[in-house]
């Protein structure tokens, strides 16, 4: 029985290479030529394996969330609200300034250059960021109910504040702000973190 022609490239490696192109150039900035060259495949092979550019970006985003941005899930598992924020922001600084990766964050870089033609991708990234903020809010609500945050704390406002800082760190990294400079920003955030009400 004749067997189908074997795929001549590593799917995971090709996806990782595509991820780095999108991370560096954004969704619209990444041309099909950029992607196929980085992935080491032809355009027909890309379509056959990953679908169109939009589908490829979605797969790359999923890979990013599970891989380089996996620290966000780890942060939510920390034992205290302060530890959640500390783990999240310091890990963010390390990720967005990693010399082995493009500066910044895929979910920010991917959206900054999106025009009207890429509205669906822009919306997807907006949903992705909103989901993270919602998860963070829920974790802070739990912290408040456990007495780990003062009764006056507003978990929704705190989650929005931390999400804004997190996104700002990524934008600053793209602009060339160093790891040490960004860590000083995190230190300032932690200095103003709501104290636990005395007992």
Q: What is the pLDDT of residues 3-33, one digit of tens each?
A: 444 456 688 899 999 999 998 888 888 899 9
Output the pLDDT for position 107. Answer: 81
What pLDDT score does 106 carry? 84
pLDDT of 185 reads: 96
Tally the residues of the chain: 199
**98 band by pLDDT with thresholds 50, 70 and 90:** very high
By C-alpha distance, which of 40, 44, 173, 156 is closest to 106? 173
Number of H helices, E strands in the chain: 10, 0
Amino acid 198: pLDDT: 45
| pLDDT > 90 in the chain, percent | 59
State residue 6's pLDDT score.
44
Residues 75, 87 contacting (CB under 8 angstroms): yes
Residue 83 has pLDDT above 90, yes or no: yes
Tell me the mean pLDDT in the region 78-102. Answer: 94
> Token pair of 165, please?
């800082």
Domain boundaries, the chain: 11-63, 69-191
As a whole number, mean pLDDT of residues 38-55 equals 90
User: What tokens appear for 155 in the block?
Assistant: 């978990």
> Structure pTM?
0.84
Q: What is the CATH number of domain 69-191?
A: 1.10.357.10
Average pLDDT, rounded, for the chain: 88
DSSP assignment, residue 199?
Answer: -
User: Which two structure tokens, joined as six digits, stand for 199?
Assistant: 């007992």
Class of domain 11-63: mainly alpha
pLDDT for 145-164, tens place per residue? Answer: 999 999 999 999 999 999 99
The 3-state DSSP class for residue 98 equals coil
d(CA 167, CA 83): 19
């Amino acid at each position: 029985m004749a067997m189908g022609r074997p795929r001549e490239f590593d799917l995971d490696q090709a996806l990782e290479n595509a991820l780095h192109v999108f991370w560096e150039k954004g969704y619209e900035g990444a041309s099909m030529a950029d992607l196929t060259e980085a992935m080491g495949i032809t355009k027909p092979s890309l379509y056959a394996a990953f679908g169109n550019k939009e589908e490829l970006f979605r797969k790359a985003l999923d890979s990013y969330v599970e891989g380089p941005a996996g620290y966000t899930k780890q942060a939510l598992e920390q034992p205290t609200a302060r530890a959640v924020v500390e783990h999240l922001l310091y890990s963010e600084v390390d990720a967005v300034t990693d010399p082995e990766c493009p500066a910044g964050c895929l979910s920010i870089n991917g959206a900054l250059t999106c025009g009207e033609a890429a509205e669906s991708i822009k919306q997807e990234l907006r949903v992705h960021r909103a989901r993270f903020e919602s998860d963070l809010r829920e974790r802070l609500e739990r912290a408040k109910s456990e007495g780990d945050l003062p009764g006056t704390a507003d978990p929704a406002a705190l989650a929005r504040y931390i999400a804004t800082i997190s996104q700002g760190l990524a934008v600053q990294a793209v602009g060339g702000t160093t790891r040490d400079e960004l860590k000083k920003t995190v230190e300032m955030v932690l200095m103003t973190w709501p104290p636990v009400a005395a007992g």
